[in-house]
Amino acid sequence: MTRSAQGPGPDVASGIARLEGYLLAQSRMSEARREAEDFADRMPWLTTAQREDVVSHYVQDRVALTRRVLTALVARAGELRQEYTERYEDLRRRLLCGSFAALLCSAALCAGAALYAR
């Protein structure tokens, strides 16, 4: 099978993920800037320098908040991944033990039936 039939390689997938992250960050920055401009528009008494300062601080605060939220989400996703991995391993182990017990029970019943038939 050729690489194109298998899908993108890890380098391509990583590059696409980085590009998506960059575009998302730019979108959030634009959104924060629009909100900051709207916020500053409600204060017509500000001088141009004060308005720019308010907009700048608003954007910085918004970006910091977004970063904290994303960091918390990534941490929680890691915790959930670990938790579900542990659950999966436990269920897999229990299923394997149950299957092995059922196999042993079936083998014992077959052996008993063979002895009884004699």
In a domain, 108, yes or no: yes
In a domain, 3, yes or no: no
Q: pLDDT by residue (tens digit) across 83-101?
A: 999 999 999 999 999 999 9
Other residues' Cβ atoms within 10 Å of the Cβ of residue 94: 10
Q: What is the rounded CA–CA span in Å between residue 101 and residue 4?
A: 45
**Backbone phi, psi, residue 45, to 5°:** -80, -10
In a domain, 2, yes or no: no
The reported pLDDT for the residue numbered 110 is 92
The reported pLDDT for the residue numbered 38 is 96
Q: pLDDT by residue (tens digit) across 17-36?
A: 899 989 998 998 999 999 99
In a domain, 113, yes or no: yes
Q: What is the rounded CA–CA span in Å between residue 12 and residue 117?
A: 65
Domains: count for the chain? 1
Other residues' Cβ atoms within 10 Å of the Cβ of residue 46: 15
In a domain, 101, yes or no: yes
In a domain, 71, yes or no: yes
The reported pLDDT for the residue numbered 9 is 77
Which residue segment(s) compose the domain that 56 sits in?
Answer: 9-117
The reported pLDDT for the residue numbered 6 is 67
